[in-house]
Structure 1
Amino acid sequence: MSKQALIIVDIQNDYFPGGKWTLNGAEAAADNAARALAAARAAGALVVHVRHEFATADAPFFAPGSTGAHVHPKVTEQAGEPVVVKQQINAFRDTSLQTILQEHAIERLVVVGSMSHMCVDGIVRAAVDLGYATIVLHDACATLDQTFNGITVPAAQVHAAFMAALAFGYAEVLSTDEYLARVG
């Protein structure tokens, strides 16, 4: 198997109940991400934590230095695990992520995190464009309802539409159970 890294995208406190931008299913997604994290650590795989932080304190969420911008305790980084702080949707843009992956000769990414329709989608598409084989664990990702042109789309449908698009042309999209059975 090619050299693989687990990328944990924006599983941060503001996305959880009591935070500034609560996502539907954040707890369940984080539980599954934690399972993938435990498996990656047990296998000695590279784990990279991606954390979004807006540039100004008046941001709607993930304000610099705030508790809401911290990585959620379910997936807290351990010593030696890189943390990439980003201010863009695409975690490769203006960050050290590509350099970290190249230094470890990574060929395949396993992606979990939030939000399905934004930063997860952004990193997966960019990763594939950069030549990485990519797996998304769909039940380890979360999002929220979206409104467009007067129509509210429930979070489950937003999530399904984005996972379907990624599965169609960008990544292998698996449940956490399917993935763990494969690597276990």
Structure 2
Amino acid sequence: MTVSDITTQIHESVQPEPNETVVTKFRVSAFAAGSNLEIILRSHQIDTLILCGIATSGVVLSTLREAADKDYALKVLSDACLDADPEVHRILTEKVFPRQADVLTADAWIDTLFY
């Protein structure tokens, strides 16, 4: 399979607006080869990333590590991440991620937006 063979479907409830950028992810990390994510972020002078998703031990961990290496400020929304193994999720969000990111709940993050 080649990159050109990959098709992406976006659920109708979260369809992007016509002017919104869509980044196609080809590997576990959102920054991995083939992604234009870093170019988009840097061109918009974005230096802070809010991470959430499935799976905590895969996509979130890989993206966090690479983003930290690229000097982004990071926040992980612990209750907006999920892993097949709840204990792995707990260890990552309580022990590993805090070394490189602020870990907080989605509600706690939302509260920071208004103050």
- Shift >2 Å, 4+ stretches: 69-81
Question: Which is helix-richer, 1 or 2?
Answer: 2
* TM-score normalised by length of structure 2: 0.83
Question: Which is strand-richer, 1 or 2?
Answer: 1
Identical aligned residues as a percent: 30
> In the alignment, does 2:44 pair up with 1:104?
yes
Match of 1:118 in 2: 58
How does 1:1-184 map onto structure 2 within 5 Å? Answer: 55=1, 64-65=6-7, 70-73=9-12, 75-94=14-33, 95-144=35-84, 155-164=85-94, 165-167=96-98, 169-184=99-114
Where relative contact order (Cα < 8 A, 6+ residues apart) is larger, the structure is: 1
- The gaps in structure 1 that reach 5 residues or longer are 1-54, 57-62, 145-154
Q: What is the aligned residue count? A: 110
- The gaps in structure 2 that reach 5 residues or longer are none
Q: RMSD in angstroms over aligned alpha carbons?
A: 1.9
* TM-score normalised by length of structure 1: 0.54
2: distance between equivalents of 1:111 and 1:71? 19
- Cα offset, 1:78, TM superposition: 2.5
